[in-house]
Structure 1
Amino acid sequence: MILLRLKNAFYIFICALLCLSSCQKTGKKKFWNKEDNTKETIAIPANFTPDSIRQLTRQLDSVFKYFNKKRGFNGAVLVTKYDQVIYKGAFGMADFYKRDSNTVETAFQLASVSKQFTAVAIMMLQEEGELSYDDSVQRFFPEFPYHGITVRQLLTHQSGLSNYTYFADKLWPNRQQNLTNKDVIDLMVAHQPKPYFKPNTRFDYSNTGYSLLASIVEKVAKQPFSEFLRERIFEPLDMKRTFTYSPDVATLTGKIATGHTRFRQKRTSDYLDTVLGDKGIYSTVEDLLKWDQALYTQKLVSRETLKEAFTGMRINKKQNDEDYGFGWRIKPLPNGDTAVYHGGLWHGFSTYFLRNPKEHSALIVLSNLPNGSLSYLEEIRKVLYPAPPQAAGSAPVASRR
């Protein structure tokens, strides 16, 4: 029996050596050590007490009920502070025609809030040695007609590429046929729509860039982008109600919000919905909380990698202008902290996801009625992150917009 165990142990040891040797020969790095995913610790201030939490919860409830009644807010909300959920709620209808109410378990199209997932997918592959931020697009698509564009410039919206949602309207022959990420590249190769500017000269928000990033993920990972997200992000984080758009989304079970116009008319999908990377993820406020909390660990990428993603990289930035990292906008808050956030607007959905990493807080707002009600979120930010009281006799602080 002892001899048999020794033989088994020796066999396992030899297999491990062969596996390691194989990995070294291919030049591929191991996946990030998922065991080292401990959460960052944070000091909770003494004034964050049960009484202060109840007061803030009542205040938020009052504000969002007012938004719903007076400004037509329709959607779901979740707010955290120091990793604690202090408020969540749902308002209005997931589908006005069916009179189906929104809940905190309703999945909404995230629109451009989807971009942060695309960025993390790229960061995961970069950590694994599968790509570099300085790789050119031609490394993955040799026929791509625009030279001098790197993965980093796609991430930070400095590629200068024209918007596919505009040039596809002119170049896509059949609007009844769904456009894919590959089709976007093929249109650019065939027709070479004129870029807006030379790469790495200025910032211009680019949906085309993020659709290309999704295509790069597919090329490197050798699997559809939607499968990569599901297998490498959604399932490991237990985001059970998060998925990517597909033409049969209407047949899915469970609570899924329908996009509406400002007049509460149902928005129908069109040929652009099937392009992923810049949009296309559906999720709930509760699943986005899981995503938020995972970004305080190393389950997906290292803290050093995330630090770079949260670092502003805009060129020719004006004073007090917002910055942009990898899939995140960066802005100062009234209390002096720096927030990373993103908003989105697509086919009847309006979304907003803000994180304050310094105090582990988040503001998640998902809406399926883009009637301008999210324009009042500055009031919520002032409630959550109030400016410090001004010292007596001091000069007024300049407004930071």
Structure 2
Amino acid sequence: MAFPKNYCLLFRCFAAAVLCLSLVGCQETGKKNRFSLWKDDSKEEIAVPAWFTADSAQKLGLRLDSLFKQFKKKRGFNGTVLVTKYDQVIYKGAFGFADFYRKDSVTVQTAFQLASVSKQFTAMAIMLLQEEGELNYDDSVQQYLKNFPYKGITIRALLTHQSGLSNYTYFADQLWPDRKKPLTNKDVVQLMVAHQPKPYFKPNVRFDYSNTGYSLLASIVEEVSGMSFAKFLQERIFEPLEMTHTFTYSVDMATLTGKIATGHTRNRQKRTTDYLDTVLGDKGIFSTVEDLYKWDQALYTQKLVKRETLQEAFTGSRPFKKQEEDYGFGWRIKPLPNGDTAVYHGGLWHGFSTYLLRNPKDHSAIIMLSNLPNGSLSYLEEIRQFLYPAPDSVKQTLAMKGKR
């Protein structure tokens, strides 16, 4: 069957247009979904022992409720807590006030400044970019931050606190005269370029906890991704995990809706924000215990990064291991009383005291957020001993040592 010339020409034009649109569509789809083409939402399976029943979970929850009520009464704990076992929430509670002046009660939906618990999200941002081939852990910081004056410092050294760089919260006090003007991550880099504060030691010599390193990691995320660090976290972590009550600090935070805790001194006086609050990466994320539970659960999937990638974050890095604790990427690593290995982080900043511990062995977690740094979180050992009791043989050995 023959077609008229004009019809054939029209058909060819139509086919070309469809092909062109298809290619553009594929490119756009690829651009939109390139972060999630392989993502796996399925959770890592774990065997649940026969003793863990609805009844035993309830008993654990009642015991935890009793412990935390004692913390509130005798030790002044003020904040929220969520505890899980085998992926299930066995206890959730809220104590005290979000604002002591207003007598505004805390709820489990109240957002707290996470302080250094924020570092694990900064590390995840770097891992996302590494997995996508945008950077390598052993790249020099100088590849990403223009005129950065310190040689031999890698992204890995920043992640593992082995850069040797001096603390920006100290040198900024000397080099940033206008305390009414917020300090940004870019300002931290520019201060280092202009004044070159003397490092504490050469890179990769030893572990030295560094807020400077994590503020620089946030700057690297911005440079590589082409978006603000806050926007990167929102689009790549918070939104995919439906962490709807999680956000980063900003000067216009007062315009936000929802319950947000106010930081206090140990004497219950309200803490005011200052020029250092606007530096992100080392701190600055606000979240709730329920959103952090979503984060904890997501880390048992491959929704963000592959398991192999995440495992490196949970692998120790200290060259000389004289202490029980080690450090991965944004996570501290320590043994529990029962012999399991936990990953955790604590935080303390401007009236907030925070703690998040995960035990991958039994998919359990302890999440505590407080806006009253009165030392009450120092009693966490009692909670760890209750949830992860040492075997009787270990208890006997410790008892024998105590008698000597």
TM-score (norm 2): 0.91
Query: SS of 2:145's equivalent?
Result: coil
Aligned equivalent of 1:42: 46
Q: CA deviation at 1:12?
A: 7.5
Structure 1: runs of 5 or more not aligned: 24-28
Report the 3-state secondary structure (helix = DSSP H, G, I; strand = E; otherwise coil) of the residue aligned with 2:187: helix
What amino acid does structure 1 have at the position aligned with 2:288? Answer: T
1:39 alignment partner AA: K
| Correspondence for 1:111 | 115
Deviations 1:202-246 (A, max 9, x none): 000000000000000000000000000001111111100000000
Q: 1:72 aligned to 62, 71, 76, which one?
A: 76
Deviation at 1:30, TM superposition (A): 4.8
Distance, in Å, in 2 between the alignment partners of 1:131 and 1:119 is 13
Render the CA deviation track for 1:72-127: whole Å, top value 9, x for unaligned: 00000000000000000000000000110000000000000000000000000000
Amino acid of the structure 1 residue aligned with 2:142: Q
The answer to whether residue 207 in structure 2 is matched with residue 199 in structure 1 is no
Change (3 A) 1:383 1:96: same
1:283–1:219: structure 2 CA closer, same or farther, 3 Å change rule? same
* Aligned residue identity for 1:348: G
The Cα of 1:391 is off from its aligned counterpart by: 7.8
Following TM superposition, by how much is the alpha carbon of 1:392 offset from its aligned partner in structure 2, in angstroms? 10
- For 1:270, give the aligned amino acid: D
**Residue 294 of structure 1: aligned partner:** 298
1:275-294 matched pairs, under 5 angstroms: 275-294=279-298
Q: Is structure 2 residue 141 aligned with structure 1 residue 133?
A: no
Distance 1:180 1:83 in 2: 38
Change (3 A) 1:92 1:194: same
Secondary structure in structure 1 of the residue aligned to 2:234: helix
SS in 1 for 2:393: coil
> Which position in structure 2 is the counterpart of 1:144?
148
Counterpart in the other structure of 2:375? 372
Deviation at 1:317, TM superposition (A): 1.5
Aligned to 2:194: 190
Distance in 2 of aligned mates of 1:397 and 1:128: 53
Aligned position for 1:15 = 23
Are the counterparts in 1 of residues 114 and 285 from structure 2 also a CA contact under 8 Å?
Answer: yes
Matching of residues 21-100 of structure 1 within 5 Å: 30-100=34-104
Q: Give the superposition deviation at 1:173.
A: 1.5
Q: How many Å separate the matches in 2 of 1:395 and 1:211? A: 42
Q: Deviations over 1:325-374 (max 9, x none)?
A: 00000000011100000000000000000000111110000000000000
Does the Cα contact within 8 Å between 2:113 and 2:285 map onto a contact in 1?
yes
- Alignment match, 2:8: none
State which of 220, 231, 234 in structure 1 corresponds to 2:224. 220
**Superposition deviation, residue 58 in structure 1:** 1.1
Q: 1:398 to 1:219 in 2, by over 3 A?
A: farther
For the Cα contact (< 8 Å) 2:77–2:377, is it kept in 1? Answer: yes
On the 8 A contact 1:32/1:128 being kept in 2, the answer is no
Offset at 1:37?
Answer: 2.5
Tell me by how many angstroms 1:250 deviates: 2.1
State the distance in 2 between where 1:218 and 1:169 align.
25
Residue of structure 2 equivalent to 1:250: 254
Q: TM-score, normalised by structure 1?
A: 0.92
RMSD, matched Cα:
2.4
Check 1:137–1:395 CA distance in 2 against 1; reply closer, same or farther (3 A cut): closer
Q: CA deviation at 1:13?
A: 9.4
Residue 186 (structure 1) shift: 0.5
Distance in 2, matches of 1:172 and 1:323, equals: 34
Rounded Cα–Cα distance in structure 2 between residues aligned with 1:187 and 1:398: 52
Q: Show the counterpart of 1:263.
A: 267
Show structure 2 runs of 5+ residues with no match.
Answer: 1-10
Structure 1 residue aligned with 2:338, among 324, 335, 338? 335
Asked if the contact 1:32/1:301 (under 8 Å) is kept, the reply is no
Secondary structure, in 3 states, of the residue corresponding to 1:246?
A: coil
